[in-house]
């Protein structure tokens, strides 16, 4: 049976989050910065929205250069808030994960799922699933994403990249080569500037020309492993499975109905989130040594607290009680109201099946 893979890409993720939480900056160039702290403008651009990209501002350039490119334009420069972005990413990954048992997070803003066994090769059904994912992400987090659907991870990713932002592109096997072949070879995932330059010396400009190039020629110039990749991927072939990488933490986060310091409300939320986290621990047969909380405040600042135990646990009560104590202590020290509540567990070990005395506490 032909595989069917969905690739989900959260469009201009960092900048989109900032845009949603401060509507006054919408329709302006948004530049997310990683400041070095040496001078006011020292550091690099982490990412931008699409408006800023029109003026040549892109990831990796200096903040000083970005300000020069946007001189005279309406623009805002914002320090990256990685804790906030990670917390929202975790929430969205949990949404995507629900739609298939074969899930792989590729980065903070990209993931893919294999839905082959769910749809039985029906790409219309795949489209329905993609729309449901897009709608749920929009409803829960007010964020847009682009989705690509194809017979493997490579084609699904290229499909998503081809129609952004907020796109949905479907490439069944019959449409893969017509989609790939006319494109410049630098559009192929994995072809960077050096590879592109070398391919040009071989008079290879399009993906079709690469697909038709003799494999021995490619091996001579790129080595056996990378030559095989170029040969197969240029024809749309990719056998790499969708598989979840080992997790370093499991967490859930929830947006409260209104900003609050009422511990009764927060306590109920912690219990619900803890049960979700515990279920994921059970499914993956993991124990944990550390429990952490995340509090996103009314001004969007992010605060975190953790507690680490000497031995591993697999108890729901320990997750709930530890999280509640951490939040209660935090509330006693913080004057601002809380907008989002998050919990996580980490420092994992595989569950040996032995119940520890402390797990009854």
Please tell me the predicted confidence (pLDDT) of residue 17. Answer: 95
pLDDT tens digits for range 99-112: 998 999 999 999 99
pLDDT given for residue 357 in this prediction:
41
**Residue-wise pLDDT tens digits, 50-98:** 999 999 999 999 999 999 999 999 999 999 998 889 889 988 998 999 9
List, in order, residues 6 or more apart from 26 with CB less than 8 Å away.
Answer: 19
Distance of CA 123 to the CA centre of its chain: 24
What are the φ and ψ backbone dihedral angles of 300, each rounded to 5 degrees? 75, 5
User: For the residues 159-177, what does the mean pLDDT come to?
Assistant: 96
Better pLDDT: 40 or 204: 204
pLDDT of 359 above 90: no
How remote is the C-alpha of 285 from its chain's centroid?
24
Give the confidence band of 299 by pLDDT, cuts at 50, 70, 90: confident
Q: Which domains does the chain have, with CATH numbers?
A: 5-11+83-176 (3.30.70.270), 15-81 (3.40.1170.60), 181-233 (1.10.150.20), 249-360 (3.30.1490.100)
Whether 234 shows a pLDDT value over 90: the answer reads: yes
Q: Which residue has the higher pLDDT, 255 or 110?
A: 110
Percent of the chain residues past pLDDT 70, beyond the cut: 97
Q: How confident is the model at residue 42 (pLDDT cuts 50, 70, 90)?
A: confident
Range 273-285 average pLDDT = 90
Q: Which residue numbers are catalytic?
A: 110
Over range 274-282, report the average pLDDT.
91
* Mean pLDDT of the 166-170 span: 97
Mean pLDDT of all residues in 323-341: 93
pLDDT at 199 over 70: yes
> Please, which residues bridge with residue 110 across strands?
9, 107
Per-residue pLDDT band at 352 (split at 50, 70, 90): low
| Beta strands per DSSP E along the chain | 5-10, 29-35, 43-48, 75-79, 102-107, 110-114, 145-150, 168-170, 249-260, 286-297, 302-313, 338-350
State the average pLDDT for the chain: 92
Q: What is the pLDDT of residue 249?
A: 86
For range 321-335, the mean pLDDT: 94
pLDDT of amino acid 2: 86
Contact present, 140 and 148 (Cβ < 8 Å): no
**Cα(39)–Cα(82) distance, rounded to whole angstroms?**
21
Confidence at 124, pLDDT banded by 50, 70, 90: very high
Helical segments of 82-211, H only: 82-97, 116-119, 123-141, 153-161, 173-180, 193-201, 207-211
> Between 86 and 183, whose confidence is greater?
183
Tell me the per-residue pLDDT of 8-28, one tens digit each, with 9 for 90 and over.
Answer: 999 999 999 999 989 899 999
Please tell me whether residue 144 adopts helix, strand or coil conformation: coil
Element housing 324 (H / E):
helix 316-333
Q: Which two tokens stand for residue 255?
A: 């947006």
pLDDT value of position 353? 57
Q: What mean pLDDT do residues 175-188 have?
A: 96
Statement: residue 164 has pLDDT above 70: yes
pLDDT at 192: 92
248, pLDDT greater than 50: yes
């Amino acid at each position: 049976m032909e595989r069917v893979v969905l690739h989900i890409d959260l469009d201009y993720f960092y900048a989109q989050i900032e845009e949603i939480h401060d509507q006054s900056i919408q329709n302006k160039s948004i530049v997310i910065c990683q400041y070095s702290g040496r001078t006011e403008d020292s550091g690099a651009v982490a990412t931008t929205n699409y408006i800023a990209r029109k003026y040549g501002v892109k990831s990796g350039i200096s903040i000083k250069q970005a300000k020069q490119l946007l001189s005279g334009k309406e623009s805002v420069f914002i320090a990256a808030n990685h804790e906030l972005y990670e917390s929202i990413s975790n929430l969205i990954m949990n949404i995507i994960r629900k739609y298939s048992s074969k899930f792989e997070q590729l980065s903070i803003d990209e993931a893919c799922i294999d839905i082959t066994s769910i749809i039985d090769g029906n790409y219309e059904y795949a489209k329905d699933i993609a729309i449901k994912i897009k709608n749920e992400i929009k409803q829960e987090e007010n964020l847009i994403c682009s989705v690509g659907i194809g017979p493997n991870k490579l084609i699904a990713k290229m499909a998503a990249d081809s129609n952004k932002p907020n796109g949905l592109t479907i490439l069944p096997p019959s449409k893969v080569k017509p989609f790939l072949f006319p494109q410049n070879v630098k559009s192929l995932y994995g072809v960077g500037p050096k590879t592109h330059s070398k391919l040009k010396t071989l008079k290879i400009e399009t993906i079709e020309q690469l697909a038709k190039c003799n494999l021995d020629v490619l091996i001579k110039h790129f080595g056996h492993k990378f030559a095989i990749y170029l040969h197969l991927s240029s024809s749309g072939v990719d056998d790499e499975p969708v598989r979840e990488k080992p997790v370093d933490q499991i967490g859930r986060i929830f947006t409260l109905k209104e900003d609050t310091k009422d511990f009764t409300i927060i306590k109920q939320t912690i219990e619900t989130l803890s049960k979700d986290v515990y279920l994921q621990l059970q499914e993956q047969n993991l124990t944990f040594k550390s429990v952490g909380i995340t509090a996103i405040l009314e001004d969007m600042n992010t605060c975190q607290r953790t507690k680490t135990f000497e031995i591993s646990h697999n108890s729901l009560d320990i997750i709930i009680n530890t999280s509640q104590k951490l939040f209660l202590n935090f509330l006693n020290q913080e004057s601002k109201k809380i907008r989002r509540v998050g919990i996580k567990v980490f420092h994992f070990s595989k569950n040996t099946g032995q119940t520890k005395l402390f797990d009854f506490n």
